[in-house]
A = this chain, B = another copy of it.
Amino acid sequence: MADKQIDPALIADHNQNALADMLADYDALGAKLARQNVDIEQLTQKAVDFGVAIPSWGVGTGGTRFARFPGLGEPRNIYEKLADCAVIAQLSQATPTVSLHIPWDRPDDPAELRETAASWGLGIDAMNSNTFQDHDDMPLSFKYGSLSHTDEAVREQAIAHNIDCIEIGQKLGSKALTVWIGDGTNFPGQQSFTRSFERYLEAMKKVYAALPDDWRVFIEHKIYEPAFYSTVIQDWGSNYLAAKELGDKAQCLVDLGHHAPGVNIEMIVARLFQFGKLGGFHFNDSKYGDDDLDAGSINPYQLFLVFNELVDAELSNPSGFNPAYMLDQSHNVTDPIESLISSAVEVQRAYIQALLVDRAKLADYQDTNDVMMANRTLKSAYITDVSPILAMARHRAGGAIDPITTYRATGYRETVGKQRPARKGSGGGIV
């Protein structure tokens, strides 16, 4: 039985106040959906079953290269991060797992950490290695690269770190390693594109060889930043080639903010799934570059279109469908707990809306090139306000009908604000 960060009675009280309105909206929506032969209860169960991982570093306040403005009561270690994640999970009932970053979250006692997480009902999601920063306990610098570095010793250091992450993860119950490297160049000519990629593949093969049988490795691509001229794994093309070279346990991870302007990301999702390499997602939103804004806050229709592909993939090939979902955001001006709750709900919303798409009709319209009706079939699902379904799912699972308002009523932030002194600077695992 899970411990509770928030007194369930407080949640129940707040839910009680919101219940009548929620039920009215739920019933009205149920009636409307019934006319479309959609059973609202099935959707609600899907919402209950849905989960997206929280990145441990997401509960701290993020910043830019220009500044970081600390928030109140930021967590100072993995245990405090888990505590915050437990709040998010309890209120939203949509974030059952936490993804860790090494070295920021390196546990002294993995078994104890795993137990603590479990006591709050939290599982451990993918492990994230870090070779885009230097580590105090490593002799060599990653300034000029890590897994693709020209110096074999640096590559070996990066390989060893990734294997270390796997080993920690095994003790924590994780089943996946996510590898994102910042390797790349700031100047034309700085490195050979080809030799860099060859070195990367050679190094990743050693990491891959260390993967347990039931693990996967997720490779994450990104067009730029921190490298500003070229990046070794710059797009889904290079990502696919790497995953293909490595083997079946290697898959591609899509971060919504890691593409060039205008790129059709939902199409990349479809391609990767078609060729057996869709590993998972880092959800967030962006207007310019890798802005890491809250999921669905800038272009919610795009989020829906991504889930439209995911639902389509799941229905077309359920046995081959197992993507890992995680939020990956930088909360610079909001309370991270509020942003993560809100973002989890937005991701869940897109999923439920995508489930509403009448796929038989859609296929018919596509086959007959009835463009207008094909498009309206998607739009009709998207404009449906599924909030009552999301609220009901939370309510039934023990979460809050209105999670932000309930969170504010708990006084949690003020409480941890007293317990956790503010820190300055940008170190310590906040990206």
Residues of chain A at the chain B interface (Cβ within 8 Å)? 21, 24-25, 28, 31-32, 35, 62-67, 69, 132-134, 141-144, 150, 182, 185-195, 197-198, 223-226, 228-230, 234-238, 240-241, 259-264, 266-268, 270-271, 273-275, 286-289, 291-294, 297-302, 305, 308-309, 312, 316, 330, 332-335, 338-339, 342, 349, 362-363, 365-369, 371-379, 382-385, 387, 404, 425-427, 431
Give, as a whole number of angstroms, the nearest-CB distance from A84 to chain B: 16
Question: Are B374 and A187 within 8 A (Cβ)?
Answer: yes
Known: A65-B65, A224-B288. 20 other contacts (CB 8 A): A65-B426, A66-B182, A67-B182, A150-B367, A150-B368, A186-B333, A188-B378, A189-B308, A193-B266, A224-B289, A228-B286, A228-B287, A228-B293, A234-B267, A260-B261, A261-B262, A300-B301, A349-B383, A372-B404, A425-B426
Q: How far is the CA of A375 from the CA of B230 in the complex (A)?
A: 13
From the candidates B190, B267, B385, name the one contacting A374 in the complex (CB within 8 A): B190
Question: Are B226 and A189 within 8 A (Cβ)?
Answer: no
Question: Are A197 and B65 within 8 A (Cβ)?
Answer: no
Question: Are B141 and A69 within 8 A (Cβ)?
Answer: yes
Show 17 residue pairs from A and B whose CB-CB distance is below 8 angstroms, ordered by the A residue. Answer: A21-B35, A28-B28, A67-B134, A186-B293, A189-B375, A191-B366, A193-B270, A194-B273, A224-B262, A226-B332, A237-B240, A237-B268, A259-B260, A297-B379, A298-B301, A333-B369, A376-B404
Question: Nearest chain-B residue to A61 (Cβ)?
Answer: B143
Give, as a whole number of angstroms, the nearest-CB distance from A407 to chain B: 10
Chain B hits for A312, CB < 8 A: 192, 194
Question: Are A66 and B427 within 8 A (Cβ)?
Answer: no
Chain B hits for A274, CB < 8 A: 194, 197-198
Chain B hits for A64, CB < 8 A: 65, 225-226
Chain B hits for A333, CB < 8 A: 143-144, 185-187, 190, 369, 371
Q: How far is the CA of A288 from the CA of B297 in the complex (A)?
A: 20
Chain B hits for A262, CB < 8 A: 223-224, 260-261, 287-288
From the candidates B133, B261, B366, name the one contacting A150 in the complex (CB within 8 A): B366
From the candidates B241, B271, B293, name the one contacting A229 in the complex (CB within 8 A): B293
Question: Are A133 and B264 within 8 A (Cβ)?
Answer: no
Question: Are A288 and B289 within 8 A (Cβ)?
Answer: yes
Q: How far is the CA of A287 from the CA of B265 in the complex (A)?
A: 12
Known interface pairs A32-B25, A342-B372; A287-B224 also in contact (CB < 8 Å): yes
Known interface pairs A194-B274, A297-B187, A383-B387; A264-B362 also in contact (CB < 8 Å): no
Question: Are B224 and A271 within 8 A (Cβ)?
Answer: no
Give, as a whole number of angstroms, the nearest-CB distance from A55 to chain B: 14
Question: Are A288 and B223 within 8 A (Cβ)?
Answer: yes
Chain B hits for A264, CB < 8 A: 229-230, 234, 287
Known interface pairs A225-B64, A230-B264, A261-B260; A374-B193 also in contact (CB < 8 Å): no
Q: How far is the CA of A224 from the CA of B267 in the complex (A)?
A: 13
Question: Are B67 and A132 within 8 A (Cβ)?
Answer: yes
Q: How far is the CA of A340 from the CA of B312 in the complex (A)?
A: 29
Q: How far is the CA of A390 from the CA of B63 in the complex (A)?
A: 42
From the candidates B32, B195, B385, name the one contacting A384 in the complex (CB within 8 A): B385
Known interface pairs A260-B262, A264-B234; A189-B225 also in contact (CB < 8 Å): no
